[in-house]
Amino acid sequence: MGYVAIKGGGKAIEAAESLLDFQRAEQGADALPLDTDSIEHQLRNLTSRVISEGGLYHPKLAALAIKQCMGDSLEAAFTLRAYRSTRPRLLETAIHNSSGMRVTRRISAAFKDIPGGQMLGATTDYYLRLLRMNLLDESPEQFQKVASNWFKDMPKDAVPETFPKVVDALRAEGLLPPVNRDPKSDAFDITRDPLVFPVPRSAALATMARAEQGGLLTIAYSNMRGYGDVHPTVAELRVGYLPVFLPHPITGEPIEIGEVLMTECEVVAMYESSDEGSKPVFTLGYGACFGHNEVKAISMAILDRALQKGAMDGPQNPSEDAEFVLLHIDGIDSMGFCTHYKMPHYVTFQSDMDRLRTTQSKRQSGDQA
């Protein structure tokens, strides 16, 4: 008789690992491994998601994580996030103004015509969700031609690279409150400080920017459907590359070190009647995340607005409760905890049985008496 069932764990883990690796390669002897460049570009939306939820802008490593996790976005984001724990934080960027974004898409639902114009860009919004059967056996030649043809027809300097922001126009008109920026208050770094409620708005925004897309959407959807009273209008949604600046190590002058693909969304919601007697204004919800992920940015903007309302008037719905929202949307936390229930719980279950048997026997002797 073996000692206990849980013995021999080491060998089991090793075997599980090699079985997992076999699954990755089981397609057969003549199959080629996925190359990470293809993942980064052809699975760009998945890469976006992993970068955003992993909280580390590193498309190459994100593609690697996707490859090794066989496309599981939660696992891939998790792996990237764990890698992040090994890297020190050396410098902080200054606050970036997103009007400097090299825009690939920007739309506004609020105005027909916006300064700089609408730019539809690459979107599935009006795309018919029909399976393109011809892609089943797409040849490399056909595939390569798609890109070369597109560049061929492209006029140089067709569109400007940067656009003014819609909310700036609303602000200039006095429809939105001025930016309330306390130069002394640094942005909250959720990787260095724990959330102790109530938390500043920057902490909430940072938490949502790393949130699992599905979780964020679910809570935001509850708000849109009626468990909340935000009736948002998308003032502007933009996707593009934001240049990142760091202070020069010697001069302190900001220098551009690269750019990150980002999605940014600003929703405007019905005005609050402020009891200050001042002019009523619209309120703004802000969402932004790494990568191209519009559903996430919009969900985040709606929740930002909902949380601001909850902080002001007290939460009336789950989506307005900062503790409820911020502690339940992290994919790495929630999937880890869900998974951990598969671990042995023999000792606690033994303890549970002891309590149940004791109360059962007490009940029984009570019934007989």
CB of 69 to another protein, least distance (A): 12
Amino acid at 302: I
Complex with another protein: residue 173 or 275, whichever CB lies closer: 275
* Window 312-331: residues binding another protein (CB under 8 A): 323
**Which of 9, 28, 178, 183 contacts another protein by CB under 8 A?**
9
For residues 55 and 240, which CB has a smaller minimum distance to another protein in the complex?
55
Is 139 or 278 the residue whose CB approaches another protein more closely?
278
88 binds another protein, rule: CB under 8 A? yes
Handedness of CA 342, 346, 348, 352 (dihedral sign): positive
Short-list 354, 293, 283, CA closest to 73: 293
Is the CA virtual torsion 217, 223, 226, 229 positive or negative? negative
What track of x and - describes contact with another protein for positions 10 through 29 (by CB under 8 A)?
x-xx----------------
- By beta-carbon proximity to another protein, the closer residue of 27 and 364 is 364
Handedness of CA 260, 286, 253, 55 (dihedral sign): negative
C-alpha 332/C-alpha 54 separation (Å) is 8
Question: Using the rule CB under 8 A, is 4 a contact of another protein?
Answer: yes
Q: Tell me which of 183, 340, 368, 369 binds another protein, using CB under 8 A.
A: 340
Minimal CA–CA distance to 101: which of 249, 242, 216, 224? 242
Selected range binding another protein among 29-37, 84-92, 158-166, 174-182, rule: CB under 8 A: 84-92
Task: Tell me how many helices (H) and strands (E) the chain has.
Answer: 13, 4
6 is a site residue for another protein (CB under 8 A): yes
**Number of other CB atoms surrounding residue 193 within 10 Å:** 10
Decide if residue 47 touches another protein (CB under 8 A). Answer: no
Judge whether 174 and 168 are in contact, CB under 8 Å.
no
Interface residues toward another protein, by CB under 8 A? 1, 3-10, 12-13, 78-79, 81-82, 84-89, 190-198, 275-277, 323, 332-341, 343-348, 350-355, 358-359, 362-363, 366
